[in-house]
Amino acid sequence: MEQIDIGSSGVKTSRIGLGTWAIGGWMWGGSDEAEAIATIRTAVERGVTLIDTAPVYGFGHSEEIVGKALAEGGLRAKAQIATKAGLAWVDGKVHRDSRAARLRQEVEDSLRRLRTDVIDLYQIHWPDLETPFDETARTLEELRQAGKIRAIGVSNFSPAQMDAFRAHAPLHAVQPPYNLFERDIEKDVLPYAARSGLTVLSYGAICRGLLSGRMRADTTFTGDDLRKFDPKFTGERFPRYLAAVAELDTLARERFGKTVLALAVRWVLDQGPTIALWGARRPDQLDPVGEIAGWTIDEATKGEIDAILARHVPEPIAPTFMAPPAKRPLTA
């Protein structure tokens, strides 16, 4: 498994990370806890040592599952935990809150749920535009100095917001959405990270399962599954994206003897100082991990990939539907 440093923090981790939003159940149609624990343990055994979670994933449930999974067999010592802060919820409704008091309470709650005494990477989940960035940044640096966290990150921040944050605390990582279909960060965040020595944790590396190669035109989503509301998975757009996936799969198999999933993850890793966060909630969904290392995508093939995307998805859809409201409710 390829390794990478998280900025200048001294934390080293695998370049593939396990994303645990689906494991939390919320917005993914539920989750089986025993299977989720087995998935986390399988990931670590296969060299995927970075486990990325957040309190809002199942309103604490994902962190609790991660804590249980790593508590036995010495797995905590083999894994790096990345979690987040700065989102609060009331009755299932989420809002941004990165005020100092909120962050200090959140870190204690996360440490308890995760059954650990230190968090390897602590990230602000979404920029809170109603709290000064200096307040948020200084609070995280205080937590780092206190030994409660080892590295500081932000998620879904623009370069200007990262500049404002970095004026008051060190920053080691940024976590944006990034995959073959969602590439907005190539215009700003990705070059900014390369210039600034930040590691990029790319969430949605297989685009919420779209790049897994397992979806078909009759695939349906039930319950609170967020893909019911993702424009990529609805209406006329869904078959266009599936057509792109089919052609990418053919290219991957003929050129490299790989699946489209392996191509999608390898592509993310070839874009710079990146980590690919791979969501899974069953052990078998990690079977393709062994296909990722030991090869790269040449520039000519990258050009062919771009041409396939341009043919099938000339107007790609950004994942903006996932953003929580920018303003806090008056009662918060």
Query: According to the model, what pLDDT value does residue 23 have?
Result: 79
* Tokens linked to 64: 């609790």
Tokens linked to 9: 């923090």
pLDDT at 30: 58
pLDDT at 225: 76
Exposure string of 59-84, with b = 16+ CB inside 10 Å and e = fewer, is: ebbbbbbbbbbbeeeebbeebbbbbb
Q: What is the pLDDT of residue 326?
A: 85
Mean pLDDT, all residues of the chain: 92
Give the pLDDT score at 28. Answer: 47
The residue among 290 and 151 whose pLDDT is bigger is 151
| pLDDT tens digits, one per residue of 224-270 | 777 888 888 888 999 999 999 999 999 999 999 999 999 999 999 99
Whole-angstrom distance, CA of residue 320 vs CA of residue 118: 32
pLDDT at residue number 215: 83
The pLDDT value given to residue 24: 65
Q: Which CATH number is correct for 3-209+268-292, 2.40.33.10, 3.20.20.100, 3.40.50.11030, 3.30.1520.10? A: 3.20.20.100
Domains in the chain: boundaries: 3-209+268-292
Mean pLDDT within 43-59: 92
Helix and strand numbers (H, E) in the chain are 10, 12
The pLDDT value recorded for residue 331 is 67
Q: Output the pLDDT for position 231.
A: 87
Separation of alpha carbons 300 and 327, rounded Å: 45
pLDDT band at 74 (very low <50, low <70, confident <90, very high): confident
The total number of residues shown for the chain amounts to: 332
- The H-assigned helical ranges of the chain are 21-24, 33-45, 61-70, 100-114, 133-145, 159-166, 189-196, 237-256, 260-269, 299-312
Residue-wise burial string across 284-322, b where 16 or more C-beta atoms lie within 10 A, e elsewhere: ebbebbebbeeeebeeebeeebeebbeebbeebeebeeb
Q: What is the pLDDT of residues 75-131, one digit of tens each?
A: 999 999 999 999 998 777 889 999 999 999 999 999 999 999 999 999 999 999 999
- Quick: pLDDT tens for 148-202: 999 999 999 999 999 999 999 999 999 999 999 999 999 999 999 999 999 999 9
The whole-number pLDDT of residue 72 equals: 83
What percent of the chain stands above pLDDT 70? 97
Q: How confident is the model at residue 18 (pLDDT cuts 50, 70, 90)?
A: very high
- Known catalytic residues are 57
Q: What is the pTM of this model?
A: 0.92
* Predicted confidence (pLDDT) per residue in 265-280, tens digit: 999 999 999 999 988 8
Type of residue found at 200: V
